[in-house]
Amino acid sequence: MDYKIREARKEDMAAVLELIKELAAYEKSPGEVEIGVEDLEKEGFENGNFKCFVADVDGKIEGMALVYFRFSTWKGRTVHLEDLIVRESMRGTGLGGALYQRVVEYGHENGVKRVEWVVSEGNKNAIEFYENTGADIKKNWYTVHMGETGIRKNLKKRK
């Protein structure tokens, strides 16, 4: 298999959105994806809110890793890996590992002291893979989200 891990281009965003939707379907949440290609193009390429790497296999995007910078009060600037997705048909080919390695390299190139991400506790293969690469899984921490409904509810209480 001939593949290349490269920075995504604006014209790759339709394929990136397909991968995002494939992940949402896998996670049994297909209706949760609210963004479109235009959002990805604007936020990634006009506003610079994220960097995306893609696995290009013979001209077809088969995987992606989307990252952005965060700031840690303990470590300073960090890289957050939002999603690493490989098409189901391409899992087990090494594309995921190659994308992961590119994210780690990107963090190192940018002088960060930490690369961070969230992994589902049910994804045992990924957890084992990450631990084998030297990652530290924080098992006593919770990921907290507040969606639009929660934001509105919270703000109403404040008035």
Active site residues: 130
Going edge to edge, which strands form the sheet with 3-7?
A: 3-7, 51-57, 60-72, 76-86, 115-117
Q: What is the DSSP string of 31-69?
A: GG----HHHHHIIIIIS---EEEEEEETTEEEEEEEEEE
Is 100 in a helix, a strand, or coil? helix
Place of tokens 């920075």: 7
